[in-house]
Structure 1
Amino acid sequence: MPSSTLPPQVLCLGEALVDRLGPLGGDPATELPWDDHLGGAPANVACALARLGTPCAFVGRLGRDGIGQEFAKLFAERGVDTRALQWDGTRPSRIVLVRRDADGDRQFGGFAGDRGDGFADQALDPSALSAALGPLLATARWLLVGTIPLASPAAAAALKLVCRQAAAAGMPLALDVNWRPTFWDPAADPASGPTRAQIDAIAPLLQQASLIKCAAEEARWLFGSDDPAVVCAALPQHPNVVVTDGGAPLRWCFAGRSGELQAFRVPVVDTTGAGDAFTAGLLHGLLLDQVQGASAIQPEALLRFASACGALVCQGAGAINPQPSAEAVQYFLARQA
């Protein structure tokens, strides 16, 4: 059955936006040519899950503009449930300016399109979510969030509401830290870490999460160490933790076991969205284990599948178009043996 006809298994809450990719080594604010690609971490994860065959829903807010129309079309094509998608008639959908170096690695460098009232994703309305959330919470098995909604008061209130209701329903939380300082302060250095106040705002998500994915530098900012076992031990619920580090081996701590996995070596066009494809692959695998009644997680196979999802996305432009099917991932993995 198409994923759109099945109850969502993952709720992905947060931003849907356009990544404006500048020319390699150039400035997307002033230099041509640029490439516009639909993105935003939770939207990327939702689309990647649907492509892998896991039914999911997107919870967020878009402007009634061309970008919003493109997302509506994309979500319909992928089979993403949009019952909790809100529409804003005043604020536009956000455009993020993405600088790329000669190797394809990216850095977020500000926004375009603001007409003075901010962007639609900042205005996610918690009061309008209640009616849509009930049926979704009744069927979903995971809630996936990042930290970006915490940067805006309305979106932060909506995020906290959904997290509370998910906890009440016994639904585990997956947190991709995805620290982006320019969403908190457009003038911030894109390479800067969170302030003490920002860490305090993020802390409740860390303390609720059953699964945490973070970059090595994010782990060092938040926990003083990039060792996933240290992160796991620092939190009362002892979550499963994955720490990524670009092309270096990713490290993990699952159920008290630790290990690492070498990155796949592939030709890189653009790394935007690779981490989101990884997150989708991770959740897809965890849900398969639940459906198949696996008695224990097998981290090595799970993370290898997720890493392959990210590697395949690196070989195309943008976060969503290169996302693979489960069959494409298995074919890639078979060729690595």
Structure 2
Amino acid sequence: MAMAPKVICLGEALVDRLGPLGGDPASAAPEQCDDRLGGAPANVACALAQLGTASAFVGRLGCDPIGEAFERLMVARGVELAGLQHDPTRPSRVVLVRRHADGERVFQGFQGHSTQVHHGRDQGFADQALEVASLQQAWPQLAAQASWLLAGTIPLATPQSAEALQWAVDAALAGGLRLALDVNWRPTFWHEDSDPSAGPDAAAQEVMAPLLRRASLLKLAREEAQWLFGSTDPVVISAALPQAPDVVVTDGAHPLRWLMDGAHGSLAVLAPPAVVDTTGAGDAFSAGLLHQLVQAEVQAQPQEPELMLRFAAACGALVCAGAGAIDPQPDARTVEEFLRWASSRPQPPNATGWPAGQPLEPGGREA
């Protein structure tokens, strides 16, 4: 049974359709593609539960095989689902993911329904229709023992889901929860024909700005930091916001930069034991950091930011060693074993060198 959540994760749950390495998932034969359950908030909720921090997922799925698969998975992981909504008319979303030979990926569009709604002829996807009324009913149970709300900016791309997210943020902050915001900019969710590498336009930035001003913890990729703040320095970013949040700026395999609890620095990321697929590594990082923050709160034993970030980086590294965002997620014991092994090696871990005590399997986006 799910425990009362400490972290509420709100947003999209979807399928990442991974194309063949170097190939196009839109034109590849079905047997050449690999469908994996994903979506950043769903990934974080599952990763937290795997690490041992009670989590909840708030989102909307279609009444279809994808929705059923998600529910089975989250029940098995112990994720609280009081906030899960079922849409009788809209399908769950399938995202086409092009994978390069080095494991890096590009989100290039969607399979099936358009994200746009034209005079009622296309209802869009289930995640775009998250309902405030249903969320309000579930909220007392979700928030009773929670300390964090984790969200991204994708729900802001559609009016109905944006309204639900904004209500949840208001309710969370009024109830003493803190907002952890992973910007997770994905232009195709806002306009399906967008260049996947394009930054947010002025209209999108205006919609995102109120959320940025309310986060206690802000996670951005390097390019997101540059687009939104004109700087990749966490000190500069935090100073630009009225609440002066903690800030983490990631940069793939390059060192991440951070500002937490008044201290700041940079940290080299950990090399994965193998690179199969980078999808979900950033979400595993977010989960690892939130897990550490919650554990420090529960145990009333503050930890050094660098130790918490190193744990989070290990979570991200281990996810790269398997396909998809959720299946390779490690438990806390596996993370600690990996950290001990990595600290004893003169060179970064490699594809064959780590004798893991736990397999990278169930129960096992760039960072």
Flag whether TM exceeds 0.5 (same fold): yes
Aligned to 1:56: 55
Paired residues, number: 333
Within 2, Cα distance between the matches of 1:5 and 1:18? 23
Q: Kindly report which structure 2 residues correspond to 1:1-337, keeping only aligned pairs within 5 A, or say none.
A: 4-32=1-29, 33-114=32-113, 116-266=122-272, 267-294=274-301, 296-337=302-343
CA shift, 1:138, in A, is 2.0
CA shift, 1:104, in A, is 0.5
Deviations 1:257-283 (A, max 9, x none): 111111112221000000000000000
Within 2, Cα distance between the matches of 1:36 and 1:107? 15
CA shift, 1:84, in A, is 0.7
Aligned residue type for 2:61? L
Within 1, Cα distance between the matches of 2:276 and 2:236? 34
CA shift, 1:256, in A, is 2.2
In proportion to residue count, which structure has more helix? 1
Within 2, Cα distance between the matches of 1:179 and 1:138? 30
Within 2, Cα distance between the matches of 1:120 and 1:5? 24
Structure 2 residue runs without a partner (length 5+): 115-121, 344-367
TM-score, normalization by structure 2: 0.89
Residue aligned with 1:114, SS: coil
Within 1, Cα distance between the matches of 2:12 and 2:161? 10
Deviations 1:270-299 (A, max 9, x none): 0000000000000000001101112x4411
Within 2, Cα distance between the matches of 1:6 and 1:149? 26
Residue aligned with 1:140, SS: coil
CA shift, 1:5, in A, is 4.1
Aligned residue type for 2:175? A
Residue aligned with 2:98, SS: strand
Within 2, Cα distance between the matches of 1:281 and 1:263? 13
Structure 1 residue runs without a partner (length 5+): none
Q: Percent identity?
A: 61
Aligned residue type for 1:172? R
CA contact (8 A) 2:2 2:75 kept: no
Residue aligned with 1:23, SS: coil
CA RMSD of aligned residues (A): 0.9
Within 1, Cα distance between the matches of 2:83 and 2:299? 29
TM-score, normalization by structure 1: 0.97
Residue aligned with 1:192, SS: coil
Residue aligned with 2:144, SS: helix
Aligned residue type for 2:14? L
Within 2, Cα distance between the matches of 1:257 and 1:86? 40
Within 1, Cα distance between the matches of 2:309 and 2:249? 11
